[in-house]
Amino acid sequence: MAAAPTTVTKSPPSLVPPAGPTPGGSLPLSSIDKTAAVRVSVDFIQVFPAPTSGKEDRSPSSTIAAMREGFAKALVPYYPVAGRIAEPVPGEPEIECTGEGVWFVEAEASCSLEEARNLERPLCIPKEELLPRPPAGVRVEDTLLLAQVTKFTCGGFAVGICFSHLVFDGQGAAQFLKAVGEMARGLPEPSIKPIWARDAIPNPPKPPLGPPPSFTAFNFEKSVLEISPDSIKNVKDQVASETNQKCSTFDVVTAIIFKCRALAVDFAPDAEVRLGFAASTRHLLSNVLPSVEGYYGNCVYPGGLTKTSQEVKEASLVEIVTVIREAKEALSSRFLDWLSGGAKENHYNVSLDYGTLVVTDWSHVGFNEVDYGFGEPSYVFTLNDDVNIVPSVVYLKPPKPKQGIRLVLQCVEGHHSAVFGEELQKHA
């Protein structure tokens, strides 16, 4: 007899307002916040396994109530998050400090996390059931953050978050959620004092936009693969012995994917293959912001490199790591150039075609260290996986206790997937 389908019963979304009085008025966003590249909502899930015996003395309902209270208390120092995005002048969005609060949804699943395969892909619960959305008539694009906590029959939870990339980058959203967790666990104030200071970031003249990009929809194969700590260490050791330089896990994993994809797709030898990534520039804003620690706005800037297909296929991983490190160094000077108004081109323009690979690193943003009162999550994953106009890879921490890097891949079409998988397996 087939198992009964899993159902998720949601409460209607309710507003959690700040726990105390907050300032009104409107606040500007920074010139980085307002780049077209970040006008999206970001969805992700944090998976919290059932507490082991003796570790949890609160009922699930009191834990969720404490989490709701954590949001209310955190919204006092983070009062702009309780507001709404407005655009009184087209192209100039700002935050109206209305104090309305964040939308919060409570839900119950009819199965255990284990029965839901611990929310491994492919999801056996539709993602819409796990993600918060506002009531009908409220535009999700105008909200800064929404949360849904789904309780499973085993005592585990999934927390679904939707945040506006216009207002936070990943590190900034994680900073806010860590504060929510601290308040939920009874701390009197956040360990990091939040800083708005968006107007401290210069607003350099905009370089010419150029023609609008043309879009081609691709039919990407979706897959998940893990790169082991040993594989990563082997390449790091090779880099150290051949160049006397250290490199990061990001450099190694990106070099592996870039090379494996070039081998699998087998472009013409002189065809351009491009790598795109966004890097944090917080460390470059220390002379601009009152304090870099506590700033929760966007501090990311696009970087990348272009090579011929033949160059990438023939290069060793050490050589590819070296050019990735050079691209990261160039990004710093490009960002400072942009900040001072010296940029002659729009670096946010990315060629959206099959020759481009865009990588996003979620493995150390901070969402894995959020504790709302039921411990840190065993696994965090993003759900913005319906983009089909540019080949992409997201790096995640694999579910605990595994180590290494989990790759969420949608960067080759079906006829290239077998060879791509074979090449990646050599480094898994």
- Residue positions annotated with a catalytic role: 165, 371
At residue 89, φ and ψ (nearest 5 deg) are -115, 125
Residue type, 260: C
Q: Take residue 57 and report the two structure tokens written for it.
A: 């003395």
Order of strands across the sheet that contains 300-308: 223-227, 405-410, 392-396, 356-361, 272-280, 300-308
Which of 335, 249, 251, 330 has its CA nearest to residue 288? 335
Please give the Cα distance from 9 to 107 (Å, whole number): 5
E strand segments, 49-167: 84-89, 92-96, 102-109, 145-151, 157-164
Strands 405-410 and 84-89: unpaired
Question: How many other C-beta atoms can be found within 10 angstroms of the C-beta atom of residue 417?
Answer: 17
Count the alpha carbons within 13 Å of 305 in the hemisphere toward its beta carbon: 20
Residue type, 83: G
At 215, is the secondary structure helix, strand, or coil? coil
Please give the Cα distance from 71 to 8 (Å, whole number): 23
Count the alpha carbons within 13 Å of 208 in the hemisphere toward its beta carbon: 3
Query: Which DSSP helix (H) or strand (E) runs through 231?
Result: helix 229-243
| Tokens 């501090």 -> residue | 299
Please give the Cα distance from 143 to 101 (Å, whole number): 9
Distances (CA, A) of 206 to 40, 97, 154, 198, 336: 20, 28, 53, 17, 14
CA angle in degrees (0–180, nearest 5) for 345-351-356 = 130
At residue 308, φ and ψ (nearest 5 deg) are -85, 155
Residue type, 411: C
E strand segments, 90-185: 92-96, 102-109, 145-151, 157-164
